[in-house]
Amino acid sequence: MAESIIVGINWGDEGKGRMVDLLTEKYDVVCRYQGGGNAGHTVINQYGKFALHLLPSGLFRPGTMNILGNGVAVDLESLWEEMQSVIEQGVDITPENLRISERASLLLPWHRELDSLEEARLKDKKYGSTKQGIAPFYSDKYQKKTILAGELFYPEYLLNHVKDLVEWKNLTITKVYGAEPYTVEQVYGWLMEYGEKLKPFICNTAKYLRDAQAEGKNILFEAQLGSLKDLDFGICPYTTSSNAIAAYAPVGSGLTTAKMDDIIGVVKAYSTAVGEGPFTCEMFGEEAEKLREAGGEYGAKTGRPRRVGPIDLVATRYGVQCQAATNIALTKMDVLSYMDEIPVCTKYIVDGEETDEFPFPVALIDAKPVIEYVPGWKVDISGVRNWEDLPQEARDYVEMIEKAIGCRIGYVSVGPERDSIIIR
Ligand code: GDP
């Protein structure tokens, strides 16, 4: 029996979806445990290309059960739309391969609206939200002002709950932001419309997971975003509003006895980030443009150009520590093949001193990168499948990272397709 987890080590978009898609073969269950539809996991397989937002990446393997745990922000409308678009591409989605925790809280239309209203109020101080309602949703969840998915089975109780919530939420919407109030009919109607469609998928998934564990099934947990976007360990306030780290999986999945034998951290061979906030290793100008183009670094959800930079060994080592990673998948190595020499951020300068410790968020604002260069390999490596067949410079690059971050790199990805992988 194996319980493993795939997490992002950096700012997200490291290629977690691609790794889950590759590894699901070995797992009976894939479970998302935090975050919401603001994720954009890109998966390319025999069915085509998908940008998954809320759906677990195990859907493409027949016989794999996919679970949205209690820690996930479930937006019924966008989940339903995402399901339809995946079904249209020939993938079956039924309660036999997708289940939603009855304890998952529902992200409501006002959460999305509040995200936009607050970003507009912040103006140039905005956090760079994806405007999917994630921050307002988690704030409400911790105030116990959200609806649990399982309440859809109790319409009378739900109606009264909606009445209370509408009255409460309208205070903020109208008095703080001066926007139009919601009506009970509007919110309840929305819940009924999408709730009816999704009710067959909602159940006690914690019990399902406990039974699966007792039967010795293999379970894979799938994180959204990365260490540096984690609410507690990331670059506050430019984080997401949930815990993206592996340690949260036992809570957010509902399987409190989760063992996580293997914590697979995904690291990109260079750095990217979206949104606002310090990004110490950021490159600009032509150098940045070339890397962005080579890596196709545009947001899967928003299409926004991602900020790019060299691999950041300071942030990556910290990310590995936060995740307690036991194995690393280094992705997008093929993207660096055009470079004569490859920049690497080896240290930061903070208050005039060199450091390899990741600083407190406020100290990070003025941190400067120390950039060193290592030789490039200058050949196409996308067809390589064996470690020995990689050019020496590419192997040196992997081993240099491995040494700096203190964790074994067990996978080197050289393309987006399922089989474009070197397993060491
Ligand atoms: P996630 O959110 O961590 O799953 O990452 P994204 O899906 O946002 O970003 C990863 C992107 O890189 C996707 O477009 C993948 O198809 C692509 N990708 C993943 N691994 C590789 C790789 O090794 N090489 C190349 N060229 N692309 C990759």
pLDDT in tens, the chain (424 residues): 599 999 999 998 899 888 988 888 889 999 999 999 887 778 888 888 888 899 998 899 999 999 999 999 999 999 999 999 999 999 999 999 999 999 999 999 999 999 999 888 888 777 767 788 999 999 999 999 999 999 999 999 999 999 999 999 999 999 999 999 999 999 999 999 999 999 999 999 999 999 999 999 999 999 998 999 999 999 999 999 999 999 999 999 999 999 888 999 999 999 999 888 999 999 999 999 999 999 999 976 678 899 999 999 999 999 999 999 999 999 999 999 999 999 999 999 999 999 999 999 999 999 999 999 999 999 999 999 999 999 999 999 999 999 999 999 999 999 999 899 999 9
Report whether 103 contacts 153 (CB < 8 A): no
Question: Which run of H or of E encompasses 134?
Answer: helix 134-142
Residue 141 neighbours by CB under 8 Å, 6+ apart: 73, 105
The verdict on the CB of residue 53 being under 6 Å from ligand 1 is no
Q: Which pLDDT belongs to residue 1?
A: 55
The pLDDT of residue 292? 97
Residue 10 beta carbon below 6 angstroms from any ligand 1 atom: no
Nearest atom of ligand 1 to the alpha carbon of 17: 4
User: Ligand 1 pocket, 335 CB below 6 A?
Assistant: yes
Give the Å distance between the CA of 52 and the centre of ligand 1: 12
Determine if ligand 1 sits within 6 Å of the CB of residue 161. Answer: no
Residue 120's pLDDT is: 86
Question: Tokens 């304890």 belong to which residue?
Answer: 103
CA of 331 to the centre of ligand 1 (A): 7
Q: Say what the pLDDT of residue 74 is.
A: 97
Predicted pLDDT at 128: 67
Residues whose CB is less than 8 angstroms from the CB of residue 97 and which lie 6 or more positions away in sequence, other chains included:
59, 62, 63, 64, 65, 66
| DSSP, res 24 | G
**103-to-31, 96, 251, 351 alpha-carbon distances in Å:** 14, 19, 12, 47
The tokens of 44 are what? 């390319």
Q: What residue owns the CA closest to ligand 1's atom 26?
A: 415
Token pair of 354 as six digits: 């060199």
CA dist., res. 114 & res. 173, Å (int): 8
Question: How many CB atoms are closer than 10 A to CB 42?
Answer: 18
Is 40 close to ligand 1, i.e. is its CB under 6 Å away?
Answer: yes
Q: What is the pLDDT of residue 126?
A: 73
What pLDDT sits at residue 123? 81
Nearest CA to 118 out of 38, 39, 173, 187 is that of 173
Whether the CB of 37 sits within 6 Å of ligand 1: no
Our answer on whether the CB atom of 35 is closer than 6 Å to any ligand 1 atom is: no
Task: Measure the CA–CA gap between 253 and 333, rounded to whole angstroms.
Answer: 32
Active-site residue flag, 161: no
Q: How far is the CA of 293 from the centre of ligand 1 (A)?
A: 13
Asked if residues 268 and 262 have their Cβ atoms less than 8 Å apart, the reply is no
What is the 13 CA–ligand 1 centroid distance (Å)?
Answer: 7
Given the residues 41, 53, 111, 161, the one annotated as active site: 41
For a mutational test of ligand 1's pocket, the pick from 22, 304, 332, 422, i.e. the residue with the most ligand atoms closer than 8 A to its C-beta, is: 332
3-class SS of residue 405: helix
Interval between CA 402 and ligand 1 midpoint (Å): 20
Residue 387 CA to ligand 1 center (angstroms) comes to 20
Look up the pTM and report it.
Answer: 0.92
Distance 300 CA to ligand 1 centre (A): 10
CB of 14 shorter than 6 A to ligand 1 = yes
Whose CA is closest to atom 25 on ligand 1? 415
| Atom of ligand 1 minimally distant from the CA of 14 | 3
* Residue 229 Cβ < 6 Å to ligand 1: no
